[in-house]
Amino acid sequence: MRRIRITVAYDGTRYHGWQVQPGLATIQSELERVLSDIDNRPVQVAGSGRTDAGVHAAGQVAAFDLENRLPCPNLKKAMNRILPGDIRILDAAEADPAFHPRFDATSKTYEYRIWRAEVCPPMRRLYTFHFPYPLDEAAMIAAAPLLEGEHDFSAFAASDEKDELGRSKVRTIFSSRLFRDGDELVYQVRGSGFLKHMVRIIVGTLKEVGKGNLDAAGIAARLDPTYAGKAGPAAPARGLCLLRVEYSSGPAC
């Protein structure tokens, strides 16, 4: 049995997120379908984390155990031949048998794009949030770094079925920045891990800053563990992309 690590890119538009859900198209179910066909047995795929319905990925990482002895370059080609065109394997390599894409990850980087011009090109409509209305972008740019550091992000998380387990919602954000890229406002955030809808809620909160409904003190209040409410509304899923997942060491090829 071999442990294989893959890097996956996908257009999440027509999928109900990463995680397998009965009767629904998901990224994990597509990968497991293809790998089970290649290995002639059920294959379970573990991902670095769950992306929501409609969220995209440029560098999701996953791993699985495989009996088939296909060399990794050939496995990559075989998977890409069978997978739908909106999911692609960018890399496949042998990994340590104990490797887990979620628990071994040291950081993840997400990007969110907001189209600011009056007209959003049709080719971009599925990958950016069109918001052509007035925003104080300078205030939003100044507010983004306030999320950096170790904080309790309970106010920036949607309700999760795992909440009853009482797990900590403290996360560390290594970098949080907002900048202009042509007609788009781009938010990039790198952290130790993220809660359900956390990045989308951060973007929604920064948008409230841009609308003049929230200031630096308001963000600080929402990062206080005693804060009883929720931060800004979640921005739409289509503007979000998982850029990359980092590890302390790569797999052996």
Supply the residues annotated as catalytic. Answer: 52
- DSSP letters, 67-108, are -----HHHHHHHHHHHS-TTEEEEEEEEE-TT--TTTTEEEE
For 9, the 3-state DSSP assignment is strand
Q: Residue 187: in which H helix or E strand, if any?
A: strand 184-191
In this structure, the number of other CB atoms found within 10 A of the CB of residue 72 comes to: 19
User: What backbone torsions phi and psi does residue 81 show, to the nearest 5 degrees?
Assistant: -70, -35
Q: Residue 151: in which H helix or E strand, if any?
A: strand 149-152
Contact (Cβ atoms closer than 8 angstroms) between residue 137 and residue 210: yes
Contact (Cβ atoms closer than 8 angstroms) between residue 176 and residue 215: no
Give CA–CA dist 89/64, Å, rounded.
14
User: Cα–Cα distances in Å, from 167 out to 60, 67, 170, 235?
Assistant: 24, 35, 9, 25
For 30, the 3-state DSSP assignment is helix
Give CA–CA dist 53/133, Å, rounded.
26
Q: Residue 208: in which H helix or E strand, if any?
A: helix 198-210
